[in-house]
Amino acid sequence: MTTIDTRPDAANAAADDASSGSAVASFFVDAAAWATTTDHKRIGRMYAGAGLLALLAAASLGALLGLERAQDSNTLVDADALLQVFQAYRVGLVFAAVIPLGLGLAIAVVPLQLGARSLAFPRLALTGFYSWLGGLALTMVALGRNGGIGGGDQQGVDLFLAGHGLMIIGLLASAGCVATSVLTTRAPGMTMRRVPLFAWSALIGALGMLLVLPVVFGAIIYVFLDHRYAQLNFGGSEGIVIWIGWAFSVPAIIVYSLPAVGVAAEMFPVACRHRQVMRGVSFAGIALVGVAALAATTQQFVHDVTFDTDGESFVRGAVPFLIFAGLPVLGLMIVLGLGLLTAKQGLANGKPSISAPLVLSLVGFDMIVGGVLGNALYSVTDLELIGTSFEEGTVLLIVYGTALGVMGGLAFWAPKLWGRVLPNKQALPIALLASLGAALATIPLLIAGFLDQSGGVPANDDDVSSLLTIAGVDQGVLWNTLSFAGHGLVALAVLAFVGLMLKTFTGAGQVADQNPFGGHTIEWGAPSPAPADNYEKIVTVASPEPQFDLTYEGSRS
Amino acid sequence: MSTSTAQLALPPGAAPAPRRQLFVGTAVACVAGTMLIGGMLAIWVLLRGRVVETGARFPVDYIIPEVATNVMLMTIWALCLFAQWAVYSGSRGDRAHAALALGVTALLAIAFINAQAFVYVDMAVEIRADNYGVLFYAVTGAMMAIVVAGLVFTTVAAFRALSGRLQETEILSAHALYWYFAAAAYSAVWFVVYVTK
């Protein structure tokens, strides 16, 4: 065995041996097997599980802050702690929730979709998970001791930056594993054109992270050294927001949402029992979202599109705007349009099957489309939305949209990951609750943004005061109360979803057969749940939808 | 027990090894490293521009030891040559030359680190004194970390290649690729930090 070869995970065998002993011994053996696993399905579930818990915490903080804003007296949270609470909310949404959720689902599912027995470099992916988790813990400790952006405790600020550095290293390691898997571990016959849409979106998202996060890491190195030793170049603790604040906002987070786009693209043909129409164009649409969002992140995300000027000035402003802010919208429209075309053709085969995965992923996709459209509007300086709560609404649309998409993906691939189908009777109401909550949390903030309610990542107590002041906002109490209710519903829905998953982990619920949703791609040919090394025999793939061929056309490919 | 029975009792064979996984993984890491150094140099250029706009020099009081920094540039490109020689020797099954090439690669990497240490001592940049110190140590420190990671890679590659897998040259190719990236990254650092006044 070499340092890169992997072998079937011995964890299951060890756990089986221990089950004959006492319950305590069995628990510790199980825990050790999970903690040291090289099974990508377990690593991915640990990432996604931790991401869901972080999302629950962030949504709860969002509800708290919504209520704080809706109140005139602002007395719910200690005034000295508000700066840190706002930052915990933003860090929680982006670095603790949306990135690990997408990455976790990709780690769990992509090797199965590729017909591979393992993720590339599984130990590195596990190390990345622990690095991310450790960095997140350090970040939260730092915020707890008055650190963070604009924090008063010098060591706390340093710890906040170090925690972010550690999180980024971990996320980069795991993203590298996903990208390498798609590029090197595909089953024989699976050319890049035959890669499933979710795996493709995971590749684009991972490459996007590999291009964006090192830039953030470089900025953190500078800011950390400057803050610790000199405080001359980067504006001290308050200046941190200038240098790394963009990583918590649009358009950077569009890159992190790509796995959820892939889940939705995967759902259209499955629900309508039809081949994906023009797969290559769908690939281009997904890639366009990633490339354009990356370009906007690294080059320009604010545009002087002035409508009351001469033609040349308008064109000079409009062209970069259309390239950087318009192309991600076009990419998503391509994915949506081809999905709807597939659905239209599939309707000839009968009604689509409505399931919780379908509802979650499609609502999530719609929210991401809304968020990307919001990003396009936000970046037009003429609209004067910069610095308003419109930005927070846009971020929330993408974060909650991605979370819904990933929850849909977890429900969809649950049969392969832990061998159970999430019952529709319980999962569908949760999906509807989450969708309603996400819409309520985000749309009022978008409206309040047009009414000049302040927004953004606060860097000091003045910014916090500005964020909490809604006196000049028409119906400000209403919008923030609605947003509070929306965050609360999202938190409830996430809690219920986690509970439902845990219930089925422990053996409750319907045992899944091999292909309960009529999936088209190769992973649906594996047993449910897939064993530690996924496939007993490596099959040769001759089509992008081998299970569709087998199920609907009777040909083996 | 007959031979055929024994064969039937064996578990299924392992899947064929993924092709060039380590090489592709290294390439992915190099892309991330390129963005790291590129981003840091972009911030350097931005902040340097702000100082130069005021009419001041950047750096103000420090004399850069150009001989040492130029030798570092030559060293790191020479190092690529030896890393590539290791690939060539490995593919021919020439253990002696592969060992020599990897040994010289490691030696040159240590020489690079030594030269960087000399630059630090010779320039004696005060990190707290002015705005140059933080930028200088951040960029050159990141570059040092890349070279130290390369030295670790060389050690691992040597163990792997010389312990009986010499003609599986993927790790040697990946190792050479990493050093090409490091050389390109240092060339950019050399030009922006040490040459541009």
For A60-107, how does the pLDDT look when each residue is reduced to its tens digit (9 = 90+)? 999 999 998 888 666 778 878 889 999 999 989 999 999 999 999 999
Distance of CA A258 to the CA centre of its chain: 8
Residues A40 and A119 sit within 8 Å (Cβ to Cβ)? yes
A226-to-A229, A230, A500, B137 alpha-carbon distances in Å: 5, 5, 47, 10
**pLDDT: which is higher, A316 or A492:** A492
Contact between chains at B36 and A217 (C-beta distance less than 8 A): yes
User: What is residue B165's predicted lDDT score, i.e. its pLDDT?
Assistant: 74
Q: Which residues, 6 or more positions from A208, have their beta carbon under 8 angstroms from its beta carbon?
A: A255, A256, A258, A290, A293, A294
Give long-range contacts, CB 8 A cutoff, 24+ apart: A371-374: A371/A250, A371/A254, A371/A257, A371/A395, A371/A396, A371/A397, A371/A398, A371/A401, A372/A254, A372/A289, A372/A328, A372/A329, A372/A332, A372/A398, A373/A329, A374/A250, A374/A446
Q: Does position A484 have pLDDT exceeding 70, yes or no? A: yes
B132-160, pLDDT tens digit by residue?
889 999 999 999 999 999 999 999 999 98
- How distant, in Å, are the alpha carbons of A366, A399, A401 from that of A261? 9, 12, 9
CA A103 from chain center: how many Å?
7
Q: Which residue has the higher pLDDT, A273 or B12?
A: A273
User: Above 90 in pLDDT, residue A469?
Assistant: no
Which residues of chain B lie closer than 8 angstroms to A207, CB-CB?
31
Q: What is the pLDDT of residue A19?
A: 52
Confidence (pLDDT) at A8: 46
Residue type, B108: L
Task: State the best of A221, A231, A536 to mutate against chain B, taking most chain B CBs within 10 Å.
Answer: A221
Cβ atoms of B40 and A221 closer than 8 Å: yes
Using DSSP's 3-state secondary structure scheme, residue A532 falls into coil
- Burial class, A195, CB count within 10 angstroms (exposed 0-12 / middle 13-18 / buried 19+): buried
Residues in chain A with CB shorter than 8 Å from the CB of B135 are 222, 233
Cα dist from A364 to A259, A264, A294, whole Å:
11, 8, 21
The Cα of B167 is separated from the nearest Cα of chain A by a number of Å equal to 14
> Cβ separation of A225 and B165 shorter than 8 Å?
no
Q: Residue A4 — very low, low, confident or very high, per pLDDT cuts 50/70/90? A: very low
Task: Share the mean pLDDT of chain A.
Answer: 88
Strand locations in A337-479, DSSP E? 420-421
A531-555 mean pLDDT: 82
Per-residue pLDDT of B83-134, as tens digits, reads 999 999 999 989 999 999 999 999 999 999 999 999 999 999 988 877 788 9
Q: Give the three-state DSSP class for A511.
A: strand
8 Å CB contact of B138 and A225: yes
* Structure confidence at residue A135 (pLDDT): 97
Residues 6+ apart with CB under 8 A from B180: B80, B83
Q: What is the rounded CA–CA span in Å between residue A231 and residue A234?
A: 7
Binned at pLDDT 50, 70 and 90, residue B6 comes out as very low
pLDDT at B72: 96
User: Greater confidence, A237 or A100?
Assistant: A100
CATH 1.20.120.80 describes domain B21-52+69-195: yes
Distance from CA of A233 to the nearest CA of B (A): 6
Local confidence band at B12 (pLDDT 50, 70, 90 cut-offs): low
- Interval A100-143: pLDDT, tens: 999 999 999 999 999 998 999 999 999 999 999 999 999 999 99
Residue A192: Cβ within 10 Å count: 12
For A424-468, write each residue's pLDDT tens digit. Answer: 889 999 999 999 999 999 999 999 999 989 888 888 889 888 888
Q: Which residue of A has its CA nearest to B48?
A: A233
Tell me which residues of chain B have a C-beta less than 8 Å from any C-beta of chain A. Answer: 12, 14-22, 24-25, 28-29, 31-33, 35-40, 43, 47, 127-131, 133-135, 137-138, 141-142, 156, 160, 165
For chain B, the domains span 21-52+69-195
Superfamily of segment(s) A37-553: Cytochrome c oxidase-like, subunit I domain (1.20.210.10)
Is the per-residue pLDDT at B172 higher than 90? yes
Residue B49: CB atoms within 10 A of its CB come to 10
Answer yes or no: is pLDDT of A347 > 90: no
Chain B contact set for A219 (CB, 8 A): 39, 43
| Contacts with A189 from chain B: Cβ below 8 Å | none
Which residue of B lies nearest to A534 if distances are taken between CA atoms? B15
- Residue A507's pLDDT is what? 78
Tell me what ipTM this predicted complex has.
Answer: 0.90
CA distance B113 to A523: 48
Quick one: pLDDT at residue B14? 56
Compare A110 and A383 and report the one with higher pLDDT: A110
- Taking alpha carbons only, the member of B141, B77, B168, B148 closest to residue B106 is B148
Report residue A128 as tokens. Answer: 């990345």
pLDDT at B8 over 50: no
- Write the pLDDT tens digit of every residue in A168-194: 999 999 999 999 999 999 998 899 999
pLDDT at A235: 84
Q: Which of A184, A174, A50 is nearest to A124 (CA)?
A: A174
Question: What number of other Cβ atoms are within 10 A of residue B138's Cβ?
Answer: 24
Alpha-carbon distance of A454 to A451, in angstroms, equals 9
* Residues of chain A contacting B24 with CB distance shorter than 8 Å: 180, 183-184
Question: Is the torsion defined by CA of A26, A29, A33, A35 positive or negative?
Answer: positive
3-state secondary structure at position B116:
helix
Q: What average pLDDT does this structure show over A231-248?
A: 86
- The yes-or-no verdict on residue B20 having pLDDT over 80 is yes
Domain limits, chain A: 1-36, 37-553
Instruction: Please tell me the predicted confidence (pLDDT) of residue A2.
Output: 42
How far apart are the C-alpha atoms of B125 and A230, rounded to whole Å? 13
**Interface touch A218/B39, C-beta < 8 Å:** yes
The reported pLDDT for the residue numbered A6 is 46
Q: Check residues A376 and B76 and name the one with the higher pLDDT.
A: B76
Give percent above pLDDT 70 in chain B. 91
Chain B residue whose CA is closest to A179: B28
